[in-house]
Amino acid sequence: MKYFKNIIETIGNTPLVKLNNVVETDALVLAKVETFNPGHSIKDRMALKMIEDAEKDGLLKPGGTIIEGTSGNTGMGLALVAIQKGYKCIFVMPDKQSKEKMDVLKAVGAEVVICPTDVPPESKLSYYSVAKRLTKETPNAWYVNQYENPSNTVAHYESTGPEIWEQTEGKITHLVVGVGTGGTISGTAKYLKEQNPNIKVWGIDTYGSVFKKYHETGEFDENEIYSYITEGIGEDILPANVDFDIIDHFEKITDKDGAIMARRLSQEEGIMVGYSAGSAVAGINQLKDKLTKDDVVVVIFHDHGTRYVGKLFNDDWMKEMKFM
Beta carbons of 63 and 33 less than 8 angstroms apart: no
* Domain 7-36+159-320 of CATH type 1.10.3720.10: no
Q: Which of 14, 9, 15 is nearest to 48 (CA)?
A: 9
What pLDDT score was predicted for residue 292? 98
Residues in contact with 105: Cβ distance below 8 Å, sequence separation at least 6, in sequence order: 70, 72, 75, 76, 79, 89, 91, 93, 112
What pLDDT score was predicted for residue 121? 80
Same fold, 7-36+159-320 and 43-143: yes
What pLDDT score was predicted for residue 128? 86
* Residues with a known catalytic role: 43
What pLDDT score was predicted for residue 120? 84
Q: What is the H or E stretch that residue 84 is in?
A: helix 73-85
What pLDDT score was predicted for residue 269? 98
What pLDDT score was predicted for residue 92? 94
Cα separation, 82 vs 233, in Å, equals: 25
Low-confidence stretches of the chain (pLDDT < 50) are none
**Strand order across the 111-115 sheet:** 111-115, 88-94, 65-69, 141-143
18 by Cβ neighbours in 10 Å (0-12 / 13-18 / 19+) ranks as exposed
What pLDDT score was predicted for residue 122? 85
Cα separation, 271 vs 299, in Å, equals: 13
Domain residue extents for the chain: 7-36+159-320, 43-143
Q: What is the H or E stretch that residue 141 is in?
A: strand 141-143
Distances 266 to 16, 201, 252, 275, 304 between C-alpha atoms, Å: 16, 25, 22, 11, 10
* Domain 43-143 of CATH type 3.40.605.10: no
